Amino acid sequence: MSIDLDLRERAELCDLFDELGPEAPTLSGAWTTADLAAHLAVREGDLLGAPGILIPPLAGLTDKRMAALLDRLGYAGVVDKVRNGPPLGPMKIPAVRRVANLIEYYVHHEDVRRANGSGPRTDRPDLEIALWDLLGRMAPLMVRKAGVGGVTVRLVDDAGAERTVGKGDQVVTITGTPGELVLELYGRRDHAEVTYEGDDDAVAKVKAASFGI
């Protein structure tokens, strides 16, 4: 995996934040670009606010910290904070940063791109390779978390490579580029360009599951 891919996604997302301004829509629920930028800044730079991203009872505190950050720095200041990267800490370690941030920044970059009229990118083979590698590491955990017992999930990329997760008798095959498969598993199902094959009940079970970490 190139050391620069997560940094490239970060920089291009921040450029898009600057271009679109604070009120543009995203695919992250009701969040605007301002909300999404604040989320990214809090996630890697706020020890009090970050836990609520993963721990629902603390989500209210996270929301307050995001709002306070926007009030203090303004939208442009928050985007600059994201652009400048994580503060001193584990996220400064390149190996940690790459694994923790590539999918995060890819998904949120696409959240902004696709909510504002852009389609899949077709000029990033290095990104697709890196995302496929990360899917191989993360898909087993994601499928276990989703609770799709009895179903084997088979991920197939556009070149025919495959990763099979689970040991169920029913097999559901999801086919797409690595980037589209990532978006599908991270809940962007209305926008991910993938196809499903398998028994109707098994496909419905997989489509209803929540895979995101």
Structure tokens at 73: 């720095």
pLDDT at 88: 85
Is residue 163 scored above 70 in pLDDT?
yes
More confident residue, 212 or 169: 169
Is residue 213 scored above 70 in pLDDT?
no
Residues 184-213 have a mean pLDDT of 91
**10, 93: one domain:** yes
Of 115, 145, 168, which residue constitutes the final position of a domain?
115
**144, 111: one domain:** no
**110, 148: one domain:** no
pLDDT at 2: 46
Tell me if the pTM is above 0.85: yes
184: domain range? 135-208
Q: In CATH, what number is assigned to the domain containing residue 195?
A: 3.30.1050
In angstroms, the CA 35 to CA 131 distance is 25
**86, 170: one domain:** no
In angstroms, the CA 203 to CA 201 distance is 5
Digit-coded pLDDT (tens) for 98-119 = 999 999 999 999 999 999 999 9
Is residue 162 scored above 80 in pLDDT?
yes
Amino acid at 9: E
Q: Which of 6, 26, 4, 5 is nearest to 16 (CA)?
A: 26
Laid out side by side, the sheet with 195-197 consists of 162-165, 151-156, 170-175, 195-197
Digit-coded pLDDT (tens) for 82-92 = 999 998 888 88
**146, 106: one domain:** no
Q: How confident is the model at residue 146 (pLDDT cuts 50, 70, 90)?
A: confident
